[in-house]
Amino acid sequence: MIASRNTRRALLALLLSFFAAASFAQRQPAKTYEPEVGQAGKDVVWVPTSNALVNKMLDMAKVTPTDHVIDLGSGDGRTVIAAAKRGARAHGIEYNPDMVELSKRAAAKEGVSEKATFAKADLFESDFSQATVITMFLLPDINIKLRPKILSLKPGTRIVSNSFTMGEWTADQTETVSEGCTSYCTAYLWIVPAKVEGTWKLPQGELTLKQTFQTLTGTLNTGGGSARISNAKMNGDRIVFTVGGAQYTGQVKGTTIEGTVKSSDGTRNWSAIRAGGAA
Ligand SMILES: C[S@@+](CC[C@H](N)C(=O)[O-])C[C@H]1O[C@@H](n2cnc3c(N)ncnc32)[C@H](O)[C@@H]1O
C-alpha cells in the first residue's frame, strides 16, 4: 500500500514536471533560422552580396518598375527585396527551404511581399524566360552552363553577375564598388543580343553578318563592290555598324531591321529583310 502510494506520487510528480516543461516550451518563441555565411548550398555555398554591390548591380541593369527581376540562387532574398523596393516585380529562386522562408519573412518586414516572391526550386530546373533582368552570384562553371539558356532570353534582357564572368562572352559593362564592400565587389553586365547572323537583303544590296555574342563582322555587297563593316555591335535588339564612311543604326524586329544611316550626304532611313542564315 505504501509502495503504491509512493509510486502514485512519483507518477504525479513526473506528469506535473512534463506539463510544466511543455508549457514552458510553448511560451518560448520558435528559434528563428540563422544562416551562416559559407553554409553549403546545392551547387554553390551561401555568401551574401554586399548591399552596396546589390545596389550597383540594380543600377547597372537600370531596374525600373516595369522590370521583372529574377535572382538565381536568391540566398537571404536581399537582391529580390532591393529590386522590389525599386518598384520592380522581383522573384528569387532558392534551393534551401529555410532561406526561402527567411526571405519571405524579410520581404514582409520590408513591406514588399506583393512584389518580392520566392520559390524553393533548383535554378537549373526553373523557367526564368519571363525575366527582363537576371541577377546572380554563382560560380564561373555554373554561369557557362546557364549561358545557352541566357542567350535564348528575349533580346535586351540584362544579366548582372557578382564576381563571375561568362567565359568568352565578354561583359558589356564592369563596375567595382569600394565603399561598403570588402569582398566580391565587382559586378558584370551583359545585354542579351538579338541573333542576326546570316544574310540580309537591303534595297541597294546584301549585308552578310557573322556574330560572336554581341560582336559582329561582315560585309555589305552593293552594285559598287564589297566593303567590310566595322565597329559592328549588338546592344540587345539594336544594331550598329560603319561601312564606307556611313554609320548604320537600326532595330532588329524578327526578320526585319529598320533604322537610319548617317553619312556626309546627311541622314536617311534604311531597312533590311532576312534572306538567309540562322534566325
Ligand atoms: C553565393 S549565394 C548568393 C545569394 C544571393 N544571390 C546574393 O547575391 O546575396 C548562392 C545561393 O545559391 C543557392 N543555390 C545553390 N545551388 C542552387 C540551385 N541549384 N538552385 C537554387 N539555388 C541554389 C545557395 O543556397 C545560395 O543561397
CATH number of 141's domain? 3.40.50.150
Measuring from atom 9 of ligand 1, which residue has the nearest CA? 48
How many A from CA of 267 to the centre of ligand 1? Answer: 49
- Same domain, yes or no, for 229 and 103? no
Average pLDDT, the chain: 93
What predicted TM-score, i.e. pTM, was given to this entire model?
Answer: 0.89
How many A from CA of 81 to the centre of ligand 1? Answer: 15
Q: Is residue 216 part of a domain?
A: yes
Report, as an integer, the average pLDDT of 54-70. Answer: 98
Q: Is the pLDDT of residue 201 over 70?
A: yes
Angle made by CA atoms 22, 26, 30, in degrees to the nearest 5: 130
How many A from CA of 94 to the centre of ligand 1? Answer: 6
Verify whether ligand 1 is closer than 6 Å to residue 96 (CB atom). Answer: yes
- Same domain, yes or no, for 165 and 202? no
Residue 213: CATH number of its domain: 2.40.128.30
pLDDT for 251: 98
Q: Is residue 32 part of a domain?
A: no
Q: What share of the chain is helix, strand, coil (3-state, %, to 5)?
A: 25, 35, 40
Q: Is residue 40 part of a domain?
A: no
- Same domain, yes or no, for 144 and 238? no
Q: Is the pLDDT of residue 239 over 70?
A: yes
Verify whether ligand 1 is closer than 6 Å to residue 184 (CB atom). Answer: no
pLDDT for 11: 58
pLDDT for 31: 72
Q: Is the pLDDT of residue 25 over 90?
A: no
Q: What's the structural domain count of the chain?
A: 2
130: β partners: none
- Same domain, yes or no, for 173 and 250? no
How many A from CA of 146 to the centre of ligand 1? Answer: 14
* Ligand 1 atom nearest to 99, measured from its CA: 27
Q: Is the pLDDT of residue 1 over 50?
A: no
* Ligand 1 atom nearest to 71, measured from its CA: 6
pLDDT for 204: 86
Which grid cell sits at 148?
545557352
The domain of 247 spans 198-274
pLDDT for 276: 74
Q: Is the pLDDT of residue 16 over 70?
A: no
Measuring from atom 4 of ligand 1, which residue has the nearest CA? 75
d(CA 175, CA 10): 71
Report, as an integer, the average pLDDT of 6-24. Answer: 57
Instruction: Read off the pLDDT band of 224 (50, 70, 90).
Output: confident
Measuring from atom 25 of ligand 1, which residue has the nearest CA? 41
* Ligand 1 atom nearest to 92, measured from its CA: 6
- Same domain, yes or no, for 142 and 233? no
- Same domain, yes or no, for 165 and 249? no
d(CA 80, CA 88): 9
- Same domain, yes or no, for 62 and 172? yes
Instruction: Read off the pLDDT band of 2 (50, 70, 90).
Output: very low
pLDDT for 184: 98
